[in-house]
Structure 1
Amino acid sequence: MVAPRHPSISSTSSTIVHEPVEHLPVASEKADPFEVTLDLDDPARPQNWSRVKRWYLTGVAGSLVLNATFASSAPSGILLDLIAEFGMARLVGVLTISLFVAGYCVGPLLWGPLSEQYGRRPIFLIAFGVYACFQIGGALARSTAQVLVFRFLGGTFAAAPLTNSGALISDLWDARTRGKALALFTLAPFAGPALGPTVAGYINVSGTSWRWVFWILSIFAGVCFLMIVFTVPETYVPVLLVHKAKRLRKETGDPRYFAPMEREKLGAAEHVERIVAKPFKVLFREPVLIAITLYMSFVYGCIYLLFEAFPIVFTVGHRFNAGASGLMFLPILIGGVIGVIGYLVIFDPRYAAAVEKYAPEPVPPEFRLEMALFAAPAFCVAFCWFGWTSFPSISFWAPMLAGGLMGFAIVWIFLPLFNYIIDTYLFIAASALAANTIVRSVFGAVFPLFANQMFEGLGPRWASSVLGFVALIMIPIPFVLIKFGPTLRARSKHAPS
C-alpha cells in the first residue's frame, strides 16, 4: 500500500501550508483495491468545487480571522472605562489585549494538529462556539479576574480560525491558483486590529456602556458561528476519505474498505513530539529561520504596541476623543490594501513569469524577497516619520499618514518572508511556521506591556526613533538572504537541496 503523505499543517498569523495536492494518494497509485481514494478530477475533491463556492468559502475564512483579530484590539478603545469600572492599574488594563494575544501562543499547538486528526469543520464549530461564549462572558464580567480570564481563554479559542482558516484555503486552491487567494486573505489579520479601536472608540464616545463592545464581539462571533454551521463543509481530503470509507463499509457491508488515515496510529509521546518539540528543534537549528522569525516578530509586536502609542499622540497630544483616535488606525488598513494590490499587480505576474523561466525546476526562494527590499527601509522610515511629526503643533495628518506607510510595509514584509519560509523548508514548513507563529505571538503579547512607559518616558519622538533604529538594524536581513541564501540553504539539515 502506498503510504499517504498528509498535508503539513501549521499556523501563521492566519495561514497554513500544505504539501501539494498531487502528493495525496489517487486511484492510480493505490496498491490495495480496498484503499479509498479521490481521483484528481473527482467532484468531491474541494479543489474541483465551483469557483463561486471556493471564493465564498475563502471569504468566510477571512471573516473568521477578521473576527478574531478585531476582538484582540477592541478593548484598547474602552481601556479607561475598564480601569474606572474595576479600579485596575493601567498595566493590568493593557493585559486585556496582551492576554488575548498570549492565547495565540497556546491555540496553534492545539487546533492545527486537532484539525489534522478530525478535520476542519468540527474544530471550527467547537472552537468558535466556545470563543463566542467567552465574549458573552466578557460582557457579563463582574471583576478584573473574570475579564482577564475570559480574554485569555477567548484568545486561545480565537486561534482556531487563525490556525485553520488558512488551512481551509489551502484545501480549496492548488499551488498554481493559491497566490491570489492568500494575498487577499493576508489583509484580514491586519484589518481586524485596525478596526477594533475605531469601533470601540465610538462606543466610548457615544456614552454607551463598555460592555457593548463585548456584546458586539459576541454578536459578530455568533453570526460567524452560524455561517460555519450552515455553509462550511469539511474540506480536508484525508478526513473526506475517512467519511467515504465509512459510507462504503455501510453501503456494501464490506469491512475491508479503509482510508489511509485510519491505518495511522501515533502514540502519546509521538503526538507531543510532533506538536510541541519539533517546531522549536527546527527553529534553534536554523539561523535563517531565527533571523526571519525575529524580524517578523518585531514587526508584529509593533502592530500591537501602536494601541498604546496612538492614544498618547492623538488623544493626549491632539486632544482627540476615543472615536477620532480610533480612526487614526484606518490608514494602516488602507496601506495594507495598497500593499496587496501592489503584490497582485506587480509581483504576482513577475513570479508567474519566473515559474515559466525556471521550469521544470522550482523558482529559487530568494526570488520571493524582492518586495522586502523595499518594505524593510519603508518600515524604518514610517516609524521615524510617525515619531518626528507627532508634535501637537504639527497637523495630525502627518503622523496619521505615516500609518499608511506602516501598513504597506508590513504586508510587503510578511508576504515575502512567510513565503520564503515555505519555499525554503518545504517538507518541514509546518514546523517552521508553527515556531514562527508562537514566537510572533509572544512579541505581540509583550510589546503593549511596555509601550505606555516607553512613549511617556522617552516621548513619542525618541520612542518611535528607538523602534526605527531597531528596524534599521534589521533592514539587511532580506538583502543578506538574497545574497547568501543559496549557500545557507545548502548547509541546512532541513532545507531540501
Structure 2
Amino acid sequence: MVDSSRVSIQSASTAFHPEESSGIDSAATLENKSNLDPYLVHFDEGDPANPKNWSSAKKWYLTLAAGLLVLNATFSSSAPSSLVPTLMQEFGISQEVGTLTISLFVCGYCIGPLLWGPLSEQYGRRPIFIISFFIYMCFQIGCALSPNAASLLIFRFLGGTFAAAPLANSGALISDIWDAKGRGAALAVFTVAPFAGPGIGPVVSGYLVLAGVSWRWLFWILTIFAGVCWLLIVFTIPETYSPVLLAKKAKEIRKHTGDEKYHSAIELQNLTLAQRLESILARPFKILFREPMLIAITLYMSFVYGCIYLLFEAYPIVFTQGHNLNAGVSGLMFLPLPIGGFFAVATYIIFFNPGYERKAQECAPNPVPPEFRLRVAMISAPFFAVSFFWFAWTSFPSISFWAPMMSGGLLGWSICLIFLALFNYIIDAYLSVAASALAANTVVRSLFGAGFPLFATQMYDRLGPEWASSLLGFIALTMMPIPFVLTKYGPMLRTKSKYAPSEPPPSSSPV
C-alpha cells in the first residue's frame, strides 16, 4: 500500500512559490525524508492525481484560465482611467483624487501577494482563488453603489487587495502543472495577461463615456466579469498544489487502512505564528536589501511597470487634448500595447525558447546558468527606450495620431519580453527563496505602478508631452545596461550571495 502512493514531489512545481516561503521543507529535504520515512505519502510514477501527469489539453485549459483571472484583475486596475473627468464632475474632486481610483487599486497589489501566496501554500490554490475572487466581486458591487468618492476609493483599494490573488497564484498554478520542458511556452502565453488587461480597460471605459451612460455601469461590468470568472474557478479549476493533494491522499490512506502513521510532508510542518509572520512579511525584504542583483532588477522592473500606469494619464493628454479624439477613440490608442504583447509571445516561442532548450541539452545534467535568461532582456531593453523617444517626438498635434499610437506596439513587445526574462532570471538565480524574492519584487513594483500616475499629469503639463516622454526614455537608457552588467558579473555575484547559489541542483531548474 505504501509503494502505490509514492513518488517524489518535483521542485519545479514550486518555481514561482517555493515551499520556503511558508516554512515548508525544500524538495531536496523532502526527498531525503522520503528515503528515511516509509510512511511519507508520495505520488506514484504516472499517477493521474499528480498535476504534472494531466493531459496537455487540461494543462492548456488551466493555463488559459489562469491567464484570464490575471486579465480580469489587471483590466479592473485601469478600467476607470477614462472616467476620471466624470468622477471629478460627479463628486467635485480634483484630478489627483480621481487618479487615486487607479493608484489605490494597484496599492492593493502591494498587500495581496504577501497574503495570498503563503496562504495558498498552506491551504491550496483553489480555496484561496474561490474566497478571494468572491470578495473581490463583492467590492466591485460596492464601487457600483458608492454614494461618495471616499467609499469608492476604499472599495477600490480593498478590491485591489483581493484581486491580487491571481497575480500571486496564477503563475504558481502554471508551475504546478507543467514540467520544465513545457513550462517555457506556457509562461510566455501567460505573460501577456498582466499587460493586456491594462490596455483593454481604457477602451471599455472610453466607449462608456462616449455612450453617455452612468459611470456606475463600468463597475457593474467588472462585477459581471468577476462573477463569470468566479464560476469558472468553482466549476472548472481543481486543486493543483502537490503538497495539499498529498495531504488529502494521506488522509484517504489513513481512512482506508486505519493506520494513523501515514502522513504527507505538509502535515509535518509545525511553525509558530511568529515564524509564519517572519516568513511572510520580513524575509522577502531581508533578501531584497541584501542582494544587489535583486535590487537592480527590481528597480528596473518597477520603472517599466510604473511606465505602464503612467500612460493612463499621458495618453489622454496626447490623444484627447492634442489630437481632439473623443474618449472612445482615445481608449483605442491603448490597443497596440496588448497587440505588442502577443507579438512578444510569438517572438519568445519561435526564437528564444528553442535556443534555451538547446542550451539545456548542452548543459545537461547541470542546469542552464541563470544569466542565459538575460539575453532576452538585452535585446528588448534598447527597444523599450526607443519606444519612448518614438512616442515623444511624434506627439505633436500636427503629426498623425497613428505615429505615436504605433509606438505602443513596440512598447508592449519590449515590456513583455523584459518581464519574461527578468522573472525567469529571479527564479533561476534564487531557487528555493524565489517566492520571497518575487514577493519583494511585486510589492516594490506595485508601489511604482500606484505612484507614477499621481505625478504624470503634472509632468506632462509642465514639460510637454515631447520632453516628458523623452525624460522617461533617458531613464530607460540609464537602466538599459542592467541585464548586460548582470550577464558579465552575475556569476561572480552569485558566488558571494547567501541566497543565490552558484551551482544550483539540477532538479530545481525552472522553466
TM-score by length of 2: 0.93
Q: Distance in 2 between matches of 1:155 and 1:309?
A: 22
**What's the counterpart of residue 478 of structure 2?**
473
Alignment of 1:404-419 (within 5 A): 404-419=409-424
**What's the counterpart of residue 446 of structure 1?**
451
Q: Distance in 1 between matches of 2:463 and 2:474?
A: 14
**What's the counterpart of residue 75 of structure 2?**
70
2:18–2:433 CA contact under 8 A, matched in 1 = no
The CA deviation string for residues 91-131 of structure 1, in whole angstroms up to 9 with x for no partner, is 00000000000000000110001001000110000000000
Question: Secondary structure, in 3 states, of the residue corresponding to 2:40?
Answer: coil
Q: Distance in 1 between matches of 2:13 and 2:133?
A: 19
Alignment of 1:356-375 (within 5 A): 356-375=361-380
TM-score by length of 1: 0.95
**What's the counterpart of residue 53 of structure 1?**
58
Q: Distance in 2 between matches of 1:16 and 1:343?
A: 23
1:139 to partner: Cα distance: 0.6
**What's the counterpart of residue 508 of structure 2?**
none
* Unmatched runs of 5 consecutive residues or more in structure 1: none
**What's the counterpart of residue 509 of structure 2?**
none
* Unmatched runs of 5 consecutive residues or more in structure 2: 1-5, 503-511
Q: Distance in 1 between matches of 2:212 and 2:17?
A: 41
1:332–1:407 CA contact under 8 A, matched in 2 = yes
Q: Distance in 2 between matches of 1:221 and 1:21?
A: 35
Question: Secondary structure, in 3 states, of the residue corresponding to 2:36?
Answer: coil
Distance 1:129 1:24, change over 3 A: farther
Matched, 1:188 2:193: yes
Distance 1:145 1:341, change over 3 A: same
**What's the counterpart of residue 234 of structure 2?**
229
Alignment of 1:336-415 (within 5 A): 336-415=341-420
The CA deviation string for residues 23-68 of structure 1, in whole angstroms up to 9 with x for no partner, is 5857994433332221232110011111111111111101100000
Alignment of 1:235-384 (within 5 A): 235-384=240-389
**What's the counterpart of residue 115 of structure 2?**
110
Matched, 1:424 2:424: no
Q: Distance in 1 between matches of 2:31 and 2:46?
A: 10
Point out 4+ residue stretches in structure 1 off by more than 4 angstroms. Answer: 4-11, 15-28
Distance 1:84 1:457, change over 3 A: same
Q: Distance in 2 between matches of 1:401 and 1:16?
A: 36
Q: Distance in 1 between matches of 2:182 and 2:273?
A: 37
Q: Distance in 2 between matches of 1:436 and 1:371?
A: 19
Letter in 1 for 2:443: I
Q: Distance in 2 between matches of 1:469 and 1:59?
A: 36
The alignment-based identity, stated in percent, is: 64
Letter in 1 for 2:172: A
1:6–1:24 CA contact under 8 A, matched in 2 = no
Q: Distance in 2 between matches of 1:18 and 1:295?
A: 27
The CA deviation string for residues 271-322 of structure 1, in whole angstroms up to 9 with x for no partner, is 1111111111111111111111000000000000000000000000001111
The CA deviation string for residues 222-279 of structure 1, in whole angstroms up to 9 with x for no partner, is 0000011111111111111111122222333332222221121101111111111111
1:10–1:163 CA contact under 8 A, matched in 2 = no
Number of matched pairs: 493
Q: Distance in 2 between matches of 1:5 and 1:287?
A: 32
Distance 1:32 1:484, change over 3 A: closer
Letter in 2 for 1:274: S
Q: Which region of structure 1 is more displaced relative to structure 2, 423-432 or 469-478? A: 423-432
Q: CA RMSD in A?
A: 2.2
Question: Secondary structure, in 3 states, of the residue corresponding to 1:248?
Answer: helix
Letter in 2 for 1:184: V
**What's the counterpart of residue 455 of structure 1?**
460
Q: Distance in 2 between matches of 1:435 and 1:22?
A: 22
Distance 1:17 1:340, change over 3 A: farther
Distance 1:400 1:18, change over 3 A: farther
1:64–1:161 CA contact under 8 A, matched in 2 = yes
The CA deviation string for residues 385-437 of structure 1, in whole angstroms up to 9 with x for no partner, is 10111010000011001111100110121111111111111221111111111
Q: Distance in 1 between matches of 2:430 and 2:261?
A: 37
